[in-house]
Amino acid sequence: MSRVFNFSAGPAVLPEEVLKEAAEEMLDYRGCGMSVMEMSHRSKVFDQIIKEAEADIRTLMNIPDNYKVLFLQGGASQQFAAVPMNLMKNKKAGYIITGQWAKKAFQEAKMYGEAVELASSADETFSYIPDCSDLPITDDMDYVYICENNTIYGTKFKTLPNTKGKDLVADVSSCFLSEPVDVTKYGIIYGGVQKNVGPAGMVIVIIREDLIRDDVLPGTPTMLKYKTQADNDSLYNTPPCYDIYICGKVFKWLLKNGGLSAMKELNEKKAKILYDYLDSSKLFKGTVRKEDRSLMNVPFVTGNEELDAKFVKEATEAGFVNLKGHRTVGGMRASIYNAMPIEGVEKLVEFMKKFEEENA
Ligand SMILES: *Cc1c(COP(=O)(O)O)cnc(C)c1O
């Protein structure tokens, strides 16, 4: 068996230890004679899995008691609709457009009310985070929305926007559990798990209790009402059981490895290796304004499309896979999530140096 260094933006690399444990438990989960895929979501065994997962993410993120944790289907994109349907009481909200995912959420929200663009970095291909210290937020807005880490463009909010007292809703899909967060600064934090936490198909929603209400927009499907999901502890219907199980294992792996502050330290170290090289290279260069650089997604280019393609091809052959940039931006992108070992980044940089020498 040989595992590659997988720089995919998502679905992405998971900790090898977690995969091995899951493999060992595949046929017989802890003596119950079946796999987690095969058991009732109402069973005692599964009840323990989901409760432990919730307790562990609460510990990891230091989630206060007045926030609910929901494990839901539909991925992150489902929340683009769920958020306005549940929160748009005044039918108005502000969106900060820092990339494709924010734009998609913005466009979806327009179907349910007045979505206002508060700021945007579209003018420079989303290569920076706009100044959000004094946004045109009005009193009648129900919330302010951001995509905190922009997976495609490689930017990250280093300071949260000044929301002028409005609730902040954040899509954290690609920076989920990569560093400590102050949950109290948000009304809702949500993330699709396939970027940094687990298998695709599930979104984790962390929501302040007063935002879980009955007076949602008329026509909101039962399944999309946060209240339905919260009242039933994510078990209104069959939840993504196996996904919850794997995420639970990743939470335990994170706790064992020092939690989110240790992750942040390691992620900064990993990103620095790559960014330092990009800053010194004569061939490759980063595409993002330095102060807005993501620790998770690192886009870079040579400036020559043919050379980019040659790089991606040779890197793949050498075992560094999924480095091709998003189809909308081109170039390369290395996603270096929690589970990417530091050796992966060191070896990638070694490979890039060699490529630079050979193609000077
Ligand atoms: C990948 C991604 C999404 C979409 O996630 P799905 O689970 O495929 O819906 C949304 N937002 C961000 C920031 C992402 O990186």
Please indicate if the annotation marks 171 as binding a ligand: yes
The answer, yes or no, to whether any atom of ligand 1 lies below 6 A from the CB of 77, is yes
Per-residue pLDDT of the chain (360 residues; tens, 9 = 90+): 789 999 999 999 999 999 999 999 999 999 999 999 999 999 999 999 999 999 999 999 999 999 999 999 999 999 999 999 999 999 999 999 999 999 999 999 999 999 999 999 999 999 999 999 999 999 999 999 999 999 999 999 999 999 999 999 999 999 999 999 999 999 999 999 999 999 999 999 999 999 999 999 999 999 999 999 999 999 999 999 999 999 999 999 999 999 999 999 999 999 999 999 999 999 999 999 999 999 999 999 999 999 999 999 999 999 999 999 998 788 999 999 999 999 999 999 999 999 999 998
Q: Closest Cα partner for 267 from 151, 349, 175?
A: 175
276-308 b/e (C-beta count within 10 Å ≥ 16 → b): ebbeebebbebbbeeebbbbbbbbbbbeeeeeb
Range(s) for CATH 3.40.640.10 in the chain? 17-256
Give the position, in ligand 1's atom list, of the atom nearest the Cα of 192.
7
The answer, yes or no, to whether any atom of ligand 1 lies below 6 A from the CB of 101, is yes
DSSP state of 190: E
Helices marked H in the chain: 16-24, 44-61, 75-87, 100-109, 226-231, 241-256, 259-280, 305-317, 342-358
CA distance 29 to 51: 16
pTM for this entry: 0.98
Please indicate if the annotation marks 237 as binding a ligand: yes
Range(s) for CATH 3.90.1150.10 in the chain? 259-359
Question: Does an H or E element contain 116, and which?
Answer: strand 114-120
Domain 17-256 class in CATH: alpha beta
CATH number assigned to the domain covering 259-359: 3.90.1150.10
Distance 75 CA to ligand 1 centre (A): 7
Q: Are 323 and 313 in contact (CB under 8 A)?
A: no
The β-bridge relationship of strands 168-171 and 144-147 is parallel
Give the position, in ligand 1's atom list, of the atom nearest the Cα of 10.
1
